[in-house]
Amino acid sequence: MQHAAAHITEEQFPKFWQTADGKFKLSYRFEPHHPLDGVTMTVPLTVLNRLHAPSLEWLVPGMLREKIQLLIKALPKQIRRICVPVPDFITKFLESNPDRQAAIIPQLAHFIAKSAGDMRILEQIDQDAWAAQELPEHCYLNLRIVDDGGQELAGGRKLHELQQQLGQAAAVTFRDNTQEFERDNVTAWDIGTLPESIKFARGKQQLTGYLGLQKEKDGRIALRLFDTTEAAEQAHRQGVIELMKLQLKEQVKDLNKGIQGFTQAAMLLKHINADTLRDDLTQAVCDRAFIGEDELPRNEKAFKEQIKRARSRLPAVKEALSRYLQETAAAYAELNGKLGKHPLTHLMRQRLQTLLAAGFATRTPWAQWPRLPIYLKAMTLRLEKYSSNPARDAAREADIRELEQMWQEKQTA
């Protein structure tokens, strides 16, 4: 990566990256093949989880044009022709005010199709394959993660890897000295109204936190401050459910006695411990009956109204899950009985481990519960049809594996 000195202006190569949590220092190194070639942003550990990968794709103005040019170069020739002359095309794209908080490739693909006057071109652009193209290292923002003392903890250009490595430490560090917002051992909604967010100072930095209830490891409920809305929402849902259980003790006690048809289902699903399965099913019923798709309560009035709704719909949810469970267990038993030494046995058991492993009741979205027996019956049908055309089965399995790989890549992107 090389730039003429005259082109290195603060407008093109700013000193700081501005975010909702403040501004972070940027440093540059224009040295091809050096590990730090390009732009590096120094980020405090406390805000690591709050970084949004798509926004980082846009780099700085002085480096963005080259990145877009390389992306266009990676396209098939018939698509590249639409972008000629490339410098002018890039200028028009940037002047179209793309969303700098969203990923580049979907917006660039849409602009290409729009420029050609034919939106069907979008179907000709494999955006997943395009995104998988490896660009030079300097086309990706380098991140330097530091502690409160400025000591580097880790660095790299793949945000998801850094968040996997340090995400938990970042969440813990974020909560340091925030006890004024938190409370242990919550047993009733006597915590007032929970604001969506709270701003507070951490040294010279202004941070935003998100309050939510959380079920602690010891089973008790606590009010905690989280570093991201996603973490707060996930914890608050479970925290609210646990708090509602305390208010609906008799109903939960009755639920714990078992769901109709449980004994037979547990025998058929014997690869899962019966007590584990019962607890999982109880939690799945509570999640659907207590919250479902409702907005999570953030004050006492909303919490009490949620309890009323939970009482009224608990019987129907329990009955529905009982029916789904019995159908699923019967379909599983039929499939399991036909595996034996079938050529697809190992593959099918892998699929079943994904679909019906311990904890599947709470992992399965409610809307997908009626589909579970259908999936299992389809697997049984596949076994029966395999011998008539093994080559066709192998080809379709290859397609499935490709889709699975794409899905896995999206989960870690």
Residue-level pLDDT, tens digit, the chain, 413 residues: 554 444 678 899 999 999 877 899 999 999 998 999 999 999 999 999 999 999 999 999 999 999 999 999 999 999 999 999 999 999 999 999 999 999 999 999 999 999 999 988 888 888 888 988 889 999 999 999 999 889 999 999 999 999 999 999 999 888 887 788 999 999 999 999 999 899 888 777 788 899 999 999 999 999 999 999 999 999 999 999 999 999 999 999 988 887 999 999 999 999 999 999 999 999 999 999 999 999 999 999 999 999 999 999 999 999 999 999 999 999 999 999 999 889 999 999 999 998 999 999 999 999 999 999 999 999 999 999 999 999 999 999 988 888 888 787 777 65
pTM across the whole model? 0.77
**How far apart are alpha carbons 117 and 262 in whole angstroms?**
59
**How far apart are alpha carbons 310 and 248 in whole angstroms?**
9
Q: Cα angle at 282 between 280 and 286, to 5 degrees?
A: 115
Handedness of CA 398, 402, 407, 411 (dihedral sign): positive
